[in-house]
Amino acid sequence: MTGPSVAAAFQSLYDATRRQILIYLTAKCGDPSDVADLFQETYAEVYAALCRRGAGYVEHGEAFVKKLAKQQLYRHYSRRQLRPSVPLETLGQELPAPPDEI
């Protein structure tokens, strides 16, 4: 359901919360270059929730959006920890062959 009521509810929620959420993400995010992506992902999730649950689903707008932003931050840092770090010296070098026996 993506009728005008969902779009209007989203726009109202976005207008009421965007400044506070941007400040929150900027304060909590360790890398300022990631803030825009986290902001966009948060509001994409807000819109998806409104589409699934209906325009009247959200009672406390700022608390709802802040919870989703917090979840986005958690996912962001979880994904970062899962990535293996590669020393800069090894970039551009050939990797050693895997052992014959495992």
CA dihedral 80, 62, 54, 2 (to 10 degrees): -70
Distance CA 20, CA 80 (A): 25
Per-residue pLDDT of the chain (102 residues; tens, 9 = 90+): 455 589 999 999 999 999 999 999 999 987 888 999 999 999 999 999 999 998 888 889 899 999 999 999 999 888 766 555 656 565 666 666 677 765
4-28 helix and 61-82 helix, angle to the nearest 10 degrees: 60
Task: Please state the length of the chain.
Answer: 102
Residue given tokens 């779009």 in the structure block: 7
Side chain identity at residue 38, one-letter code: L
Distance CA 91, CA 11 (A): 45
pTM (global) more than 0.75: no
Side chain identity at residue 52, one-letter code: R
What's the confidence (pLDDT) of residue 86?
A: 57
What's the confidence (pLDDT) of residue 1?
A: 47
What's the confidence (pLDDT) of residue 15?
A: 96
